[in-house]
Structure formats: structure tokens, C-alpha cells
Structure 1
């Protein structure tokens, strides 16, 4: 733990970590808040699914685009503009009596203008700490974000059900605005300028480590989404047991991130961490008992935050600084698509084969992620004793010969 205390004492680290978590906190709330709100207003889960799907598609498209724009226009202008449009869109969806198609269209706008805070902060990190501290910082970030997925759904559900669905959405928008303004006000955001990339959009995916991170991240998040759907199906939507199980799953990730964050990242690091996830979810299929699911998913969770930390670390070490934001945008897009596919596959399996089939499908996604990471070890940078910072951008230097 001394590694993390040292990190938090480093100038600016604690405040930028707290600010970006506050700004991203709404995205742990909005899915449930909109689901409850739209179902109550329109008496239709299909309508809610269409709106949430439109938001997810917008976010997936936005990932690399808004990240790349930060290299052209600067972090603050891009984040400020998207923050205004996204927050206004969310507020309008909560307050206006719109038809479903109107909500779908505004939901797409909210998704495609999601502020690119996650790519921004992971681009800033290498400029804040030394090379020895970077991998533990990525691990601390991955662990801390579990707070979003533990507390976000709980707060959204409580406020929406006990007080008002509109208030639940507006509270999420308030977190977005306050966190976004806090993040923009930090001096670290102003100090770091992303050089303009000279490559075409998407070329960064030719970097094997970026493609590996995008694909494995897709599989990891698909597995998590399928687990969530399976657990809810096991206990039913009216039971609090599913919430406790998913909280234990997230706590396992938090513990794993803190426990393994200081471990050097070798070529088999990603495969090893994905193996923990695969074994834990695979064991969960054996018995759908509360305590068994809690224990096995806690085990699976131990591999999640460390896997994300490795994904971020190998991307950072494999691309030029001007390409880092776009690279993280693609990794984020892969994760968003994984969440959608994982939920869809799990839903189909539940309807046709029962809850255990959803958890089996989650184990399948995790196993594929493990195999891809294992087969891709040749493209996995060995960061043991190596600087995980991005490759410096170089400019041609004119030389006058006398």
C-alpha cells in the first residue's frame, strides 16, 4: 500500500483522480436511471432499450473522434464543448415530454458528445509521475473506477425509486457538470498539450498492442456485462441479492487492483490476469447459490482491475504521445461494444436456456480473452524494468551546413 500512498502524495495525482471519477460517476447511474424513468413513463422496456442503445452507439462512435480532436483543438475546448452539449441533452431527456423517437435522437447526441475525460486523464498521467510510478497509477485508476460501478447503480436506483426518476437523472447530470468543471479547472489539464497526430484516423490500430488491448478489453467487458445480466436473472429484479453479488464482484476487482498493481508487467501479465477472471466465472457456473456466487465472483473480480491496468500500460508504452488519446478512445469503444454484445448474448441465453447459460457465456467471453492474450504475447510489451511512458514525438530538425 505504500506505493499508492506515495502516488497520492505526488503533486496533483489525488485531485485529478478524484475530479475525473466525479465527472465519470454519472455513467454508473444513467443506464439504470433512464431504464427506470422510461419504463415508468412509456411502460416499455423496449423503448428504454432503444434509448440506451442509441446512447451506447453514440459513445462508441465518439471514443476515437473526440479523443483525436483534443490533439487538434486542445483538451479544454473539446471537453468543455462536449460537457455542455451532453449535460443539456441529458437534462432535456429528463424534463421534456418527448416521444420515444425524440428520446432516441437526443440520447444519440448525448452519447456522441460524452466528454472524453477518460482518454484525457490517461494521456495526462505519464506527464505527472515518473516511469516507475506509471503502472501502479494505472492500476490505482482502474481500481478506483470500481467506485463508479458499486455506488452509481445503488444511488440511481434508490433516488429513482424512492424519490423521483427525473431527480435520479438530474442528479447524474449534476455529477457530470460539477465533475467536468472541476476537471477542467485543474492546472494539470492546462499544462499538457497533445501534439497533433499526422496519421489518419484509425491507423493507430495497426499497433499490435493497441489492437490486442481493444480486443481483449472487448472480451473482458462482454464477460462482465453477461455476468451482470445472469446474476440479475438468477435472483430476479425485485431482489437485493443480485445487487450484493455484483457489489462483491466489484470489491474483488478493487482488491485485485490494489494487490497486483505493483507487480511488474511481463509478456504473460495480461493472459495471467484474464485467467483469474476465466477461472472465477467458470466456477460460478457450478452452483447458483448466493454464497457460492459471491465467493467465485470475488475471485473473478480480482483479475479485472489488474487486467485493465495492463491494457492501459501496454497502450501507453506502444504509441507516440500524439496518438495516446485516440488509442485510448479505440480501447474505450471496444469496451462499449463489448458491453452491448455481452448483454445481448446473455439476454438471448437467459430467455432460451436459463440464467446459468448467461454465466456460461460470460465464462466463454473471458476464456476467449485469455486465449487472445496468450496467443498475442508476442505483441505484449515487456514492461519489467522499462518505462511505460508513451514514445516521444519527434520533429524534423533543420541543420545548416557551412
Structure 2
């Protein structure tokens, strides 16, 4: 654990870590709050799924584009504009009751203007700590990310159950604006500038590690969205319908988050080996499938804590893979594609799980989560040849230039 203490000796590291966590926190809230808000407004999960799907399409388009723009316009400018517009759209949906078609259009725009915080911060990391500490910082970031993806829904459930879904959307918008302002004001932004990428847009997808990371995390995060919806449905108050949340579901999701935090701190900083990604996904899969045994709160809390221990280490492995195989000028775009995969995964997982709940209840959504994780495990197993072996190596990006061989006359 001493490696985490060493990180504190680098000026501004923990400010960047905490501020980006606050700025990204709404991403973990939105899928659940939007699902509950739309179900309450239109009376079914299918309509909610349509709205979330529109948001996912917008995010799929914007993720790599806004990340690429940071190299041209600057990180602060892109983050500021997108945060303000996205928060304004969320507030509009919260307070104005609109037809489904218009709400779907606004949800698409929310996806388009999603602030590219993740690619920004993971581009900063390799420039604010030495190479031998980047793996530990990625691990700590992965543990923090689990606060977003798992504790975020806990906050969403609590606010929605106590104050309503309008308040939940407003809280998400507030986190987005205030957290974004705190993150953007970090002095680290004055020291780092993303150089303009020389390659064409999308060329980074030729790198196998980027494709692997994007695909695996899509299914991985989609499974979390599905299990979260399943937990909310399993503990919906009797007689109030599935569109209402309960504190029991928040407790279970909090335990899930605790398992991820523990796993990230204990194992996430370990060097990535070719089989690391698969083994970590399998831990989560085992915990998820065990949920089918019983919907008892104590059983779910126990198995999800165990499964959660593989979550943060999986994200740490993905970040390390990218950090060592992608040029610095292309890092933001690479993480943009990965972030798109994760954000689209959240919306897609929630949408599919919502349909499954309408058909067969909480167990259906758990099966959806398990199926998504199984696909992620298969992909990780089939791509081990492209996953780097980082044992005993520092995390350093490849050089921006390559050797040019000139033939002799």
C-alpha cells in the first residue's frame, strides 16, 4: 500500500483525482435516474429504454470527437462548453413534461454534449507522475471510477426515493457543472497540452489494444447497468410499482461498490499479464450469476461484494494497456472511444434490462447482466495474444516518431 503514499508526493495529483471524480459522478447517476424519471412519466420501461438508447447514440458519436477536439481547441474550452450545455439539457428534461419524441431528441443532445472528462484525466495522468507510478495511479482511478458507476446509482436511488426523480436530475446537473469547474481549474492543465494527432480520425482503432479495451468495457459496464436495474426492481416497495426505488437497493449497491474499492486497492496496481483481463472479468461474472440463487438482501450483498472485487482491477488493466501501447497524441482519442463504449454500455444495459424486467422481473435483468459479462470474458480470452505483459515494466507511451529506414544507393 506504500505505493499509494508515494503518489501523494507528486503535487496536485490528489486534487486532479478527486475533482475529476466529482465531475464524472453524474455519469453513474444518469442511467438510473433517467430510467426512473421516464418510467414515472410514461408508465413503462420500454419508453425509458428508448430515451436511454437515444442518449447512447449521442454518446457514441461524441466520445471520440470531443476527445479529438481537445487537441485542437484545448481541454479547458471543450470541457467548459460541453458541461454547461449538457447540464442545461438535463434541467430542461427535469422540469418540463414533454412528448416522448421531444424528450428522446433532448436525450440524444445530452449524449452529444457529454463532457469528455475521462479521456482528459487519463491523458493528464502520465504527465503528472513518473512512469513507475502510473500503474498505481490508474488503479486508484479505477477504484474511484467504481464510486461513480456503483455508488452513483446509490445516490440516484436515495435522492429519487426521498425527493423524486426531478431532484435526482438536478443533482446530476449540479455535480456536472460544479465538479467540472473544479476539475478544469486544476493547475495540472497549465502544464499539459495535448499535441495535435498526426494520424487521421479513427486511425487509433487500428491498434488491437484499443479495440479490445473498447469492446470488453462496453459489455462489462453494460452488465453493471443491468444488475443495478435488477436490484432496484427486486427491492421496489410493494404496491408502488417498479418505477420507485428503495433504500434496500441502495444498501446492496453500496456493498457492491465496497467490494470494487477493496479489490482495486489490493489488486489493481499489480502488473498486467496476458490473462489478467480474463481472470478479473471472471470474478465479476461469478458474483453476478450467484445472484440468481436468491434475492435475499444479505445473499445479494455478499455475492456482489465478492464479484465487485474484480471490477476496479479490470478497469486498471484496461488503462495500463492503453498507456503502454498508444502514443500520447492519440491517448485522448483512444480513451474517448473507450469512454464511449462504457457510456453506451450503461445506457444499453439499462435499456435491455428494462425490457427484461417487463418480461420476467428482476431475475431477467440478472440473466442479462450475466450474459453481457460472459461475452466480455469470451472476448478477453480470445485476445490474450494482443494484451501486453507488463511485469517489471514502467507504463510509458510509445514515442511520437518512429525510425525511418533509408535504403542505400
TM-score, normalised on structure 2? 0.89
- The answer as to whether partners of 1:143 and 1:254 remain within 8 angstroms in 2 is yes
Question: Once structures 1 and 2 are overlaid, which stretch shifts more, 106-115 or 310-319?
Answer: 106-115
- In the alignment, what sits opposite 1:178? 178
- The answer as to whether partners of 1:267 and 1:382 remain within 8 angstroms in 2 is yes
Cα–Cα, structure 1 residues 334 and 149, in superposed 2: closer, same or farther, change >3 Å? closer
TM alignment of 1:142-161, pairs within 5 A = 142-161=142-161
Alignment partner of 1:382 out of 386, 389, 393: 389
TM alignment of 1:223-234, pairs within 5 A = 223-234=223-234
Q: Deviations over 1:123-151 (max 9, x none)?
A: 11000111111111111011012222444
Q: Structure 2: how far apart are the matches of 1:149 and 1:388?
A: 25
Q: Structure 1: how far apart are the matches of 2:290 and 2:205?
A: 34
Q: Structure 1: how far apart are the matches of 2:222 and 2:302?
A: 21
Cα–Cα, structure 1 residues 174 and 235, in superposed 2: closer, same or farther, change >3 Å? closer
- The answer as to whether partners of 2:150 and 2:256 remain within 8 angstroms in 1 is no
- The answer as to whether partners of 1:183 and 1:189 remain within 8 angstroms in 2 is no
| Alignment pair present for 1:297 and 2:304 | yes
2:325 aligned counterpart, secondary structure? coil
1:295 aligned counterpart, secondary structure? helix
| Alignment pair present for 1:313 and 2:300 | no
Question: Once structures 1 and 2 are overlaid, which stretch shifts more, 192-201 or 166-175?
Answer: 166-175
- The answer as to whether partners of 1:76 and 1:190 remain within 8 angstroms in 2 is no
1:66 aligned counterpart, secondary structure? helix
- In the alignment, what sits opposite 1:207? 207
- The answer as to whether partners of 1:268 and 1:377 remain within 8 angstroms in 2 is yes
Task: Kindly state the Cα deviation for residue 86 of structure 1 after the two structures are TM-superposed.
Answer: 1.6
2:136 aligned counterpart, secondary structure? helix
| Alignment pair present for 1:322 and 2:322 | no
- In the alignment, what sits opposite 1:250? 257
Task: Kindly state the Cα deviation for residue 311 of structure 1 after the two structures are TM-superposed.
Answer: 0.6
- In the alignment, what sits opposite 1:400? none
- In the alignment, what sits opposite 1:10? 10
Count of residues in correspondence between the two structures: 397
TM alignment of 1:44-193, pairs within 5 A = 45-163=45-163, 165-193=165-193
Q: How well do the aligned residues superpose, as a CA RMSD in angstroms?
A: 2.4
Q: Structure 1: how far apart are the matches of 2:13 and 2:222?
A: 30
TM-score, normalised on structure 1? 0.90
Task: Kindly state the Cα deviation for residue 216 of structure 1 after the two structures are TM-superposed.
Answer: 1.2
- The answer as to whether partners of 1:282 and 1:360 remain within 8 angstroms in 2 is yes
- The answer as to whether partners of 2:160 and 2:168 remain within 8 angstroms in 1 is yes
Question: Once structures 1 and 2 are overlaid, which stretch shifts more, 301-310 or 224-233?
Answer: 224-233
- The answer as to whether partners of 2:155 and 2:250 remain within 8 angstroms in 1 is no
- The answer as to whether partners of 2:158 and 2:247 remain within 8 angstroms in 1 is no
Task: Kindly state the Cα deviation for residue 203 of structure 1 after the two structures are TM-superposed.
Answer: 1.6
- The answer as to whether partners of 1:223 and 1:363 remain within 8 angstroms in 2 is yes
Q: Structure 1: how far apart are the matches of 2:180 and 2:372?
A: 34
| Alignment pair present for 1:278 and 2:285 | yes
Q: Structure 1: how far apart are the matches of 2:342 and 2:127?
A: 25
Question: Once structures 1 and 2 are overlaid, which stretch shifts more, 241-250 or 255-264?
Answer: 241-250
- In the alignment, what sits opposite 2:239? none
Task: Kindly state the Cα deviation for residue 52 of structure 1 after the two structures are TM-superposed.
Answer: 3.0
Q: Structure 2: how far apart are the matches of 1:95 and 1:348?
A: 26
Task: Kindly state the Cα deviation for residue 264 of structure 1 after the two structures are TM-superposed.
Answer: 1.6
Question: Once structures 1 and 2 are overlaid, which stretch shifts more, 285-294 or 370-379?
Answer: 285-294
- The answer as to whether partners of 2:151 and 2:257 remain within 8 angstroms in 1 is no
Q: Structure 2: how far apart are the matches of 1:340 and 1:167?
A: 20
* Runs of 5+ consecutive residues of structure 1 not aligned to the other structure: 398-402
